[in-house]
Amino acid sequence: MEIQFSPTRPAADTLVFVVPKGGFDTLPLAAAPVLAAGASASRFVGETGSSFESFVEEGGRTVRVLLLGVGAKADQDYEKAGAALTAKLATSGAIHAAVEFFGGASADQAAALAFGARLRGWRIDTYRTRQSEKAKPTLQTLTLVAAGADAAWERQAAVAAGVAFTRELVSEPANILYPESFVERCRPLEAMGVKITVLDKAAMEQLGMGALLGVAQGSPREARLLAMEWDGTGGLADKPVVFVGKGVTFDTGGISIKPAAGMEDMKWDMGGAGAVAGAMMAIAGRKAKARVVGICGLVENMPDGNAQRPGDIVTSMSGQTIEVLNTDAEGRLVLCDALTWAQRTYNPEVIVDLATLTGAMIVSLGNEYGGLFSNDDALAADLTAAGQAVGDQLWRFPLSAAYDKLIDSPIADMKNIGPRYAGSITAAQFLKRFIEDGVKWAHLDIAGMVWADKPGGTWDKGATGYGVRLLDRLVADRFEK
């Protein structure tokens, strides 16, 4: 769907009038009284995302008219309204919709509506060979009658592209997306000014990444460590902010194999890495004046004859040893080596990791919030605020030395899983052992957020793109020069 802006209303088969809560006085249409009466009879009063649809004769032809509610006219109201607009019209038969703002709108508000429309309009039809005509998207063009919104939309469009990229990565099946092909999908970022570094198995063996490589050893798909560097400061920033993503492109559980039912969902166990890649695209796309590094630990967890066994002991890059009691607690093994490499390579003051790490997080928070753990109150507050601003909500959990005894091993430095209770906390405590002194760190457990079984405000069923907007907003609010 093409999105464009115009100072005047173009010829279109669908006219959309954006109405704030409380309704409207009149519309620039001959049939305005009939529309007003119909809207009133339908109890349309302009709540955010609500709509009233009708067909009228205008200029000698029949056009579809949609009254679209924008509530109290906050920027997030416009975003939600734009998403509702796309959901309503995408497969409706409408081809070109022209959007007018009753009472006017700022450039940021117009761009927010376009942003919501773009986010909700994303879909993946790559593997469909048959679709009914009514299921095929028809909406090709959305023209917003608003002046001066191009600059605001350029920024929003860059973020929307990052969200779409993450959704694409998360949606792809594991026979298509695996460590090597994930890296290749990210290669186009180089043309945007992102420096890409890739470590293969041999390089990681030389560095002593026994934890990450232990997860990968059961798969013929070799592991990769991917680093994406963006510097929009012209070399002025001493230290980057670093994002690290868990990228298990498929997770069978390894020898501690998962139940068959629902295992197909484990193609999205790379959602943390997907969010990091999408955030890097967004940040580079809008040319953020910050120095940011995104790192993805990419593996496939499979149960062949060479796979890691419960009871094995591995040595991480940090030198700490880990007793592997459950091969399905693999994400922390990937992250611990990626975190060590990130700190030793880039010497960051701030590091944030994202991972679909624990089912316990879904038990705790469902699909409404991601879990937040941090050793720094200010960083936790900044992440929470960024999440609230963009709708990627976070809820903070405790870290405490009291939980450390739950992951102490009798024969190694630690074990990779604790008891049944506090599973998300013990996973975070595990990662904390790999954070060096003086580094401000946050761990985001987003297990319940990267995939949705039903449509949401700005996404359809499937990949949500969670985390991209959160990281981009954190950079914009805290790290841009």
Q: In a 3-state reduction of DSSP, which class is residue 45?
A: coil
Token pair 């703002």: residue:
101
- CA dist 423 and 440 (Å) reads 23
Q: In a 3-state reduction of DSSP, which class is residue 112?
A: helix
Per the DSSP assignment, residues forming a β-bridge with 53 are 66
- CA dist 266 and 327 (Å) reads 15
In sequence order, which residues have a C-beta less than 8 Å from that of residue 372 and are 6 or more positions away? 380, 383, 384, 394, 395, 396, 397, 442, 443, 444
The candidate with the shortest Cα–Cα distance to 302, out of 229, 223, 410, 237, is: 223
Q: Annotated catalytic, 332?
A: yes
- CA dist 97 and 119 (Å) reads 17
Candidate list 258, 289, 433, 478, residue with the active-site label:
258
Asked if 468 contacts 376 with a C-beta cutoff of 8 angstroms, the reply is: no
Asked if 481 contacts 235 with a C-beta cutoff of 8 angstroms, the reply is: no
- CA dist 315 and 208 (Å) reads 7
- CA dist 177 and 190 (Å) reads 19
- CA dist 64 and 57 (Å) reads 9
Element (H, E) at 435: none
Q: In a 3-state reduction of DSSP, which class is residue 445?
A: strand
> Which value, in Å, is the radius of gyration of the alpha carbons in the chain?
24
Please tell me the number of Cα atoms within 13 Å of 249 on its side-chain side.
27
* DSSP tally for the chain: helices H, then strands E: 13, 19
Candidate list 224, 332, 415, 469, residue with the active-site label:
332
- CA dist 229 and 172 (Å) reads 24
Token pair 């940011």: residue:
292
Catalytic residues: 258, 332
